[in-house]
Every structure is written in structure tokens, then in C-alpha cells.
A and B are shown apart, each in its own frame.
Chain A
Amino acid sequence: MNRPSPAGLLVALAFGIVFVVEGRTVLGMLGFELPLSVYFPVAGLLLVAMFVGLLLLPKTNSKQVAGT
């Protein structure tokens, strides 16, 4: 797996934020209501870790299609 382009990273970040926000709703529906002070720091850290992980991936081969 290669590092997404800047556009790909932006889109991934946007979706990550959405999943973090909606994740609390889904967890609550499943009966796991976590306090805000616990959920958002943990989910935020996970999001940052995933984003850093994406940045650490090798760069996309320049021959690949732009925007992927």
C-alpha cells in the first residue's frame, strides 16, 4: 500500500472525523455510552495515529494515476 496523495489524505481525514463523530452514536446504540472526556481523546488519538501511519507509508509511484 502506498501513501495517498495530498488530496487522498484530505479526503481520508474528512472521513476519519466523520467516523469519530458517528462512532460515538453507533457505540451508544450498542449500549456503550462513553463519557465525552474519554471518547474524544481516545478516538482523536486513534485518528491521529492512523493519519501518521498513512504519512509513513512509501510515496505513490509517480506513474500512478493522479489523485489516487
Chain B
Amino acid sequence: MNLFVDRYPEEAWIVRAALASSFLALFLGGIMGLIQGLHRTGFLQIVQDSTYYTVLTLHGVSMVLLFTIYFLVGFFQWAVTDSLDRSAEDIRFTKLWYFLMVAGTVMAAAAILGGFTDATNLEADVLYTFYAPLEAHPIFYIGLVTFVIGTWLAGVDWFRSWWAWKKEHPGERTPLRAFMVMTTMLMWYLATIGVAAAILFFILPWSLGLVDSVNSLLTRTLFWFFGHPVVYFWLMPAYMMWYVILPKLAGGRLFSDPLARIVFVLFLLLSVPTGIHHQYVDPGIAEGFKFVAMTNTMFLLLPSLLTAFTVVASMEHGARQRGGTGRLGWLRSLPWNKPAFTGMALAGLMFAAAGFSGMVNAGMNLNYVIHNTLWVPGHFHLTVGTAVALTFMASTYWFLPQITGNGVFSQRLGLVQVLLWFLGMVFMGNAMHRIGLAGEPRRTAEPFYDGVTFDTALGSISELHFQIALGSVILTVSLLLFMAHLFLSWFDVASNPAPDNGVIPEALSGPENAPIVLENLRLWTAIALVLILLTYALPLASIVSANGFFGSAGTLVGTAYEFAVSPFVGVVA
């Protein structure tokens, strides 16, 4: 047996722990999603409207921060260890970052869960987009910071492995999976500068009462500095699975290793200087800065389109290796009976739809039509809710035996589960987009207001609400199936032997064909920094010069701070 768990038992333990944390968050967030879906459509309201925001925060934080990031750290630990074929440099350090993340999670979760009861002053009904003026208990922000520091240390851990590997393999190209992890983590370091600054310098002091107020626009802008690239932090591991695991499952090989590297470098360059496209309707940011962000965002379509080409080409190659023929007839030769393959392929398909709705979000004038409507959650339920979540769940059917040594309980049950997720999201995503076009707002427990009607271009609002509720229920059934299946597989109820998944095959066009400059991650990071400076320096300077670091209400701490820092900003502006 060549299983990961046999070769690297200690690293496999960390991967299992990270995945268990991830799926716990998925379960909790999923149940909150069902409550929301039924509440705002009026089918079942078991929480008060005021509690809805606690539910919404728990759903958002659990799904988009905890589920995704715990999964990706586990997956990255596997990818680095397996592709470099070396143990962690110091397993105690590996455990340290994992337990730091857990400690952060416990603090943030305690604050959010406090919102369900009046017995404590803990509260964090600030949604996952936790910028001002919404304010949470300090423990929420401290928890988030601790969690992010855990991810930073995880990156350090993987970089240590990579540097050690490079010393032993001078002149060799970094294995593709390790290269993908390094570029993703570099992007993450750059992106989290924004959220770290927002929390540490402004929101946390404000929440602790050290300053009376904050500049809300500044915290929003710093949040979106992080808030858009975090999408790519979730997506890049999903892309890695599409590049690495999907071609193998299809029976073939990756079409082009160099193209995959270029895609990840492009994500490193372009993910961060785009966040202002979330702020098209914010006053206080000049239109020109928004236009720059829009242009950068449109450039981001390039790596996604390259991925679509490469992944489909790899799948076609695999299908033809399996005997597939014809222009489209090869599609029938793909292994649709494997939930890992089917789930990932459907996730990719849904991501294409998400790309189109994303272009609407990214376009300045079209964005005004759908801004702050249910269209936007419709979009990200296709990206993070399907492209990422379904890929992660589907890949688990392939991945779990590697880290537990146990076979999957039932491939058929897994297939039903991924198909149900796909169906549920089609109902919900379709209806959310259409209802958003009718103008129904997002982030509200009761979308109906006296004297306001939402006119749909087609069908009726009640029909679309039914689709959302139906989609929520189907998704929950799929989630419960997944959790049950996970439990049965993890604890080896069926005593199925783990299949030997063998090695990841070499790409058709291998790493030797990649330009050597792609290996120069210092260069790409420096270019990414320059792009960030070009995009953000002037808007941030403008925001600060208009309303200061802490808004109009000065405080002793705030004034002293501004006294020390603002002259530099004046020079920049």
C-alpha cells in the first residue's frame, strides 16, 4: 500500500484534524443556511427577525472562513508533503498552527453563539463582512486575528519544507502542487495585510473602547482589500484539484503543467488589486479608482478561461484514453459513476455560470442594477457554494482513503449526494439571481416592505421564493447525506479496503517546458505589490485625507495616532 497515511502518519493526523474541523463548520453553517432559506422566503420562521443576523453571521463565517480554510490547510499539508515527498520540518510547529486556528475559531464562535442568548454580553452579529459600522465583541476580532495568524504560520511551515527541498534539489522545478501552494500562500499574505490592518489598528481598538469611532469607509476598503482575494484563497485549492486530481480521475493526464503555473502566477498578481469593485456604490471613492479595479477584475477572467481550457482538454484526453470518440461523444466515456469525478466536473460547470454572473458584478454600470440584491448571494453560492464546496466534498471521496486508510462507504451514495447538491444549487442559485434582478435586497430577514413590490421580469416572486426554499431543503439533504457518508467511511463501518490511488501522473506538457522565470516567486510577489500600491495607495490616501483614520470624532489615542501618521499620508496623496 502506498497510502499517504502509511507514509506520513503524523502529517495525516493534521490533515484529518483540519478536515474534521472543516466539515464540522460545514454542517453547522449548512443548518444555518436552511434556517435562513426558509425564514426569508416565509415558509418556516423558527427564529426571531433579530436573531436572523446571528444565524446569517454563523452561516457566513462557518461556510466561507472556517469550512473552506480548514479544508484547504489540510489539503495543502497533503499537497506539500506528498509532492515534495518529505515530512514536515518540525511536526510540533505544524500542530502549533493548527491549534492556533482552533483557538481562534473557539473565540470567534463563542462571540457569535453569544448572540443567541441574553445571558451574556458576547455578541457578533456583524456578518462575515465584519467591517464598521457594525460592531462585535472584541473576542470575535481577537479570534479572527488568531485564526489568520494560524494560517500565516501554516504558510511558513510549507515554505520551510519548500526551501529545504530546494536545497536538496538545486536547479529542479518545484513540483506543481507545491508551486500552487506557495503562490496561493503568497497571495494570502498580501491579501491579509488589509484585514489585519483593519482589525488591529481600527476595529479592535474601537471595539475595546480605546477609540470612540472609526472611519467606516476605510475599514470597508481594507476589508475588501482582503474580501475579494479571499475568494481566490478558496478557489485556488479547488483549481488545484481540477488540475491535479480531475485529469487523473478522468483516466488521463494534465494537458499542460506550464499553463497551470501561469494561471497561479496570474492569480498571485491580480487577486488583490480588485477589491474596490465591491464598493462601486460607495461614495468617497472616486470613479477613476473604481474603473481601475474593474479593469483588473476583468483581467482575472483570463486565468479562469485558461483553466477552463486546460481542464476540459485534460478531461477529453482522459476520456479518449478510455475509448471515447467523437466531437462530444467522448463525454460519455468519462467516469460519471465516481462521485469524486462527477462532483468536481459539475462544480466546474457551475463555476462557468458563476463567471458570467460575476462579470455582471464586476461591470461598473451593470453592478448598479444588482448591487446589494439577492443576485450577489446567488453569485457566490455558485462560486464558493458550488465550485468550491462541491469540489471539496467530491474530492473527499478520493482523498479520504489517503488520510484514513479506509475505503469510501458507498460510491453510489456519494454520487447521489453530489448530484443532489448540484440540483439544489441550480434551484437556489437560479432563483436568487432572478429575484435579485427584481430588486429584492440581500441581508434582510424580511424582504417585504409596505408599499414596495418587486416586479419580476418573468414568473412571480412567490415562485422564485419556492425555488429558493426547495433548493435549501435539497442542499440540506445532500449535506446530511455527506456527513453520514463521511462518518460511515471515516469509521470504516463497511470495512471497505482503501484503494491504492497510485501517483499523480505527469502532465502531457511537463514542467521542463515552463519558463524558468515562473519559479522566481520573489519577482511575482514584487510585481503583485507594485500593482497593489498602484491600485490602493491613492484611494486609501484620499479616504484618510477626507475623514481621517478614525472618522470625524477624534479621541486622544486616535488624534495621537493621526498626528504621527497623517503627515506621511499627505506626502503620498
Contact = CB atoms under 8 A, between A and B. Distances in A.
A50 interface: no
Interface stretch (B123-131, B334-342, B517-525, B534-542): B334-342
Interface stretch (B1-9, B160-168, B218-226, B426-434): B426-434
Contact of A68 (B333, B422, B426, B463): B333
Nearest to A5: B337
What band does the interface of chain A fall in when counting residues whose beta carbon is under 8 Å from B? 20 to 34
Q: Which of A8, A36, A64, A65 has the most CB of B within 10 A?
A: A65
Nearest to B419: A14
Given A11-B342, A11-B419, A25 B336 contact: no
B475 interface: no
B95 interface: no
B560 interface: no
Contacts of B416: 10
A64 B458 CA distance: 45
Nearest to A39: B459
A6 B335 CA distance: 12
A21 B463 contact: no
B332 A36 contact: no
Given A67-B337, A68-B332, A28 B463 contact: no
B415 A10 contact: yes
B503 interface: no
Nearest to B411: A7
Interface string B312-324: 0000000000110
Given A11-B336, A66-B337, A68-B333, A18 B426 contact: yes
Contacts of A28: 457-459
Contacts of A36: 459, 463
Interface in B415-448: 415-416, 419, 422-423, 426-427, 430, 434
A29 interface: yes
Contact of B430 (A7, A22, A67): A22
Nearest to A17: B423
A67 B338 contact: yes
Contacts of B412: 6-7
B333 A65 contact: yes
A10 B323 CA distance: 22
A15 to B, nearest CB: 9
Contacts of A18: 422-423, 426
B336 A67 contact: yes
Contacts of A6: 337, 412
Contacts of A11: 336, 342, 419
Interface in A16-68: 17-18, 21-22, 24-25, 28-29, 33, 36, 64-68
Contact of A14 (B338, B422, B430): B422
Contacts of B458: 24-25, 28-29, 33
Nearest to B420: A14
B337 A21 contact: no
Given A5-B337, A21-B426, A21-B427, A65 B322 contact: yes
A18 B427 CA distance: 8
Among A4, A8, A24, A67, max chain B CB count under 10 A is at A67
Contacts of B322: 65, 68
Nearest to B333: A68
B353 to A, nearest CB: 10
B337 A25 contact: no
A4 B415 CA distance: 15
Contact of B336 (A8, A24, A29): A8
Contacts of A33: 458-459
A7 B339 CA distance: 9
A66 B423 contact: no
Interface of B: 322-323, 332-338, 342, 412, 415-416, 419, 422-423, 426-427, 430, 434, 457-459, 463, 467
Interface of A: 4-8, 10-11, 14, 17-18, 21-22, 24-25, 28-29, 33, 36, 64-68
9 tightest CB-CB pairs across the interface, nearest first? A67-B337, A7-B337, A28-B458, A14-B419, A67-B335, A18-B426, A11-B336, A68-B332, A7-B336
Given A10-B416, A22-B430, A29-B458, 20 more contacts: A6-B412, A7-B337, A11-B336, A11-B342, A11-B419, A14-B419, A14-B422, A14-B423, A17-B423, A21-B467, A24-B458, A24-B459, A25-B434, A64-B323, A65-B323, A65-B333, A67-B337, A67-B338, A68-B333, A68-B334
16 contacts: A4-B332, A5-B337, A6-B337, A10-B416, A11-B342, A18-B422, A18-B426, A21-B426, A21-B427, A21-B467, A22-B430, A25-B434, A28-B457, A66-B335, A66-B337, A67-B334
